[in-house]
Structure 1
Amino acid sequence: MTHPTDIQRTPGRIPPLLVVAFDLAAAGVPVLPLRAGKLPFGNCPTCAESACGDRPHMKAGGPCQCPRPCHGWAAATTDPRTLASPAWSAAWRAAGSVAYHPGGADLTVVDLDSPAAVAWARAELPPTRTVATTRGEHWVYRGAMQSTNAVRPGVDIKSHMSYARWRGHGTGTTTALPDDVRALAVKDPSAHRPVPHTIAVPAAVRGGVCRHRSPAYLERGISMAEQHIAEAHSAIHNSVYRVFLAVLSTHGRCGCLTEAHVERLFVAAHVKGESPRHCAVAWANARTALGL
């Protein structure tokens, strides 16, 4: 039986873009096919024609729950058998380009979408590997961080929970992610009400009694909360707040919640489009409403 990585050595057997995908995957870079227009393919009824809004249904930190492989950054993979699977065969033949998940490769891409943005980066950011794009450049740094759009005019940051179009290896040496780039993801605090830099987990109420008969009780509650967030189709802000409120009202007074539990809720909300700041505000407001 021919192994998927051997197929690429046989001319005419596979689409050229899949050859590129195999090479990137072999280098440890998770990849996926993109349609024309830089949109991911939908490979299941839930996500067909971008019906899910191009936000894969995720378990916190885990794989897409749709029949794999699905689409979006969550489906990016380094597994050659997945890349060559029947589920993606038609996608690779119709694909307009290859994308990759920078965060999955421990990379951050500063997407500079205009000549003015490129000029700013050359004046303000440490040099690193540079890849030419249609309207500007991608500056690629070693190290991952949260993805944030519109950190300044014409500048997006793509790393965790995001994908970038592969445009070649570029020129220069990939350097370590600098604090100057990390700082771009921190929004102006004057534009929002103050929020904590770390997740605030309620301490145990004095004399409180834990009602959780087993760890499975808390785990089931967190899993149900993640599902409710994932299934929200409108009023996302309000839906996230209500879920946070429900979790805190049930699990917030006995000291069983940990930062890991709360982080799972934040990831589920982020997949639905909530920013880390909006998650922190909703969490803080829910705690205040309950007097925690």
Structure 2
Amino acid sequence: MTPDCTTRRPNDAHHRDAGLLPAALDLAAAGVPVLPLRAGKTPFGNCPACRDSVCGDRPNMRAAGPCTCPAPCHGWAAATTDPHVLTSPPWIAAWRQAVAVAYHPGGAGVTVVDLDDAAAMQWAREALPATRTVRTTRGEHWIYAGTMRSANAVRPGVDVKSLMQYARWLGPGTGVMARLSTSVVASLRKEETTPARGQVVSSLPARATWDRTVATGCRHTERYVRTGLERGLAMVRARTESGAGSQAFGVARFLAAQHTPCPGPCGLDAIGEEITAAAVSVGVPEAYARRAVTNGLETAMGRVA
């Protein structure tokens, strides 16, 4: 990523006066994938052909698919450095309604630690090495060279935006960009304690359950899977004071490991939903619970980058 973006866009009078597009073209020329944001500072909604992922999603998304939609669909996954795409009719229509420029940190080779308030910034000053910083409306973006998994709410007021997230472009910032070291990653993955009962910050409206209909390729009996799952759920629910997130990670990893010899599918997503619901029931924030369970499942299956 070259945040100073001194490389100039093509000399095109039509696009020079097109609001946010000139800044987007400057960023793209510097190798930073960009996309427009609409009112509310969110990506534009998917077109009818991409709505609800009926298109199969784009090749760079978690569930890689064949979508080559010419519109800025799929949020961060549509971010591009191609000036022909950025100035194509579907994108021009979006730029005319846009209120801000966003970029894909992972595509630019960086990780943005989004600090939303004074407490989060104080934590960063104590826990993270100094790096390039950008002022935001409520706090700061700390930008590190290197990429990692994106995650919201890694701790109060702290989001990590990298491989599968977008960040609003607010200028090049100040300071020297530090490398994303193992110590930084470890600090960002540190677990919060389980909130006390009565302070649950999220809940799941309905719990998906595992059964044979979602596990047609599993070599285990339904009784074997349900018995192991119920024991694991009980272990998570027993962590009423602290550690439920870590317990959910461990249970997900252990249970998923039992299915590595299976031809699949084994319904691990449904198992993950049940573990997530158990963690949320004892006060773990839903975003954190989902992240812990996903990491546990993917560690067991050997899919963690």
What range describes the TM-score normalised by the shorter chain of this pair? 0.5 to 0.7
Matched, 1:155 2:181: no
Matched residue of 2:93: which SS? helix
Q: What's the counterpart of residue 89 of structure 1?
A: 92
Q: 2:26 aligns with which of 20, 23, 27?
A: 23
Q: 2:293 aligns with which of 274, 278, 283?
A: 278
Structure 1 position 36, deviation (Å): 1.6
Q: 1:68-87 maps to which residues of 2 (within 5 A)?
A: 68-69=70-71, 70-87=73-90
Q: What's the counterpart of residue 209 of structure 2?
A: none
CA contact (8 A) 2:24 2:101 kept: yes
Cα pair distance change 1:14/1:85, threshold 3 Å: farther
Superposition RMSD on alpha carbons, in Å?
3.8
CA contact (8 A) 1:63 1:74 kept: no
Q: What's the counterpart of residue 40 of structure 2?
A: 37
CA distance in 2 between partners of 1:127 and 1:150 (Å):
21
CA distance in 1 between partners of 2:181 and 2:42 (Å):
29
Deviations 1:55-103 (A, max 9, x none): x934456577262232401000011100001011111111000000001
Cα pair distance change 1:172/1:67, threshold 3 Å: same
Structure 1 position 14, deviation (Å): 4.0
Matched, 1:57 2:61: no
Q: What's the counterpart of residue 114 of structure 2?
A: 111
Q: 2:270 aligns with which of 223, 233, 238?
A: 238
Percentage of matched positions with identical amino acids: 49
Matched, 1:185 2:200: no
Which stretches in structure 1 are left out of the alignment for 5+ residues? 206-217, 230-235, 242-272, 287-292
Q: What's the counterpart of residue 143 of structure 1?
A: 146
Which stretches in structure 2 are left out of the alignment for 5+ residues? 1-7, 193-242, 274-287
Matched residue of 1:127: which SS? coil
Letter in 2 for 1:31: V
CA distance in 2 between partners of 1:81 and 1:201 (Å):
49
Structure 1 position 281, deviation (Å): 5.0
* Equivalent pairs, count: 221
Cα pair distance change 1:103/1:64, threshold 3 Å: farther
Cα pair distance change 1:80/1:110, threshold 3 Å: same
Q: What's the counterpart of residue 261 of structure 1?
A: none
Cα pair distance change 1:105/1:203, threshold 3 Å: same
Matched residue of 2:45: which SS? coil
Cα pair distance change 1:64/1:78, threshold 3 Å: farther
Cα pair distance change 1:131/1:13, threshold 3 Å: closer
TM-score w.r.t. the length of structure 2 is 0.61
Q: What's the counterpart of residue 10 of structure 2?
A: 6
CA distance in 2 between partners of 1:167 and 1:179 (Å):
27
Deviations 1:136-155 (A, max 9, x none): 00000000000111111111
CA contact (8 A) 2:79 2:104 kept: yes
Q: 1:174 aligns with which of 174, 177, 180?
A: 177
- List, as ranges, runs of 4+ consecutive aligned residues in structure 1 with deviation greater than 3 Å: 11-14, 58-64, 186-190, 199-205, 273-277, 279-286
CA distance in 2 between partners of 1:182 and 1:103 (Å):
15
Letter in 1 for 2:124: A
CA distance in 1 between partners of 2:145 and 2:14 (Å):
34
CA contact (8 A) 2:27 2:34 kept: yes
TM-score w.r.t. the length of structure 1 is 0.63
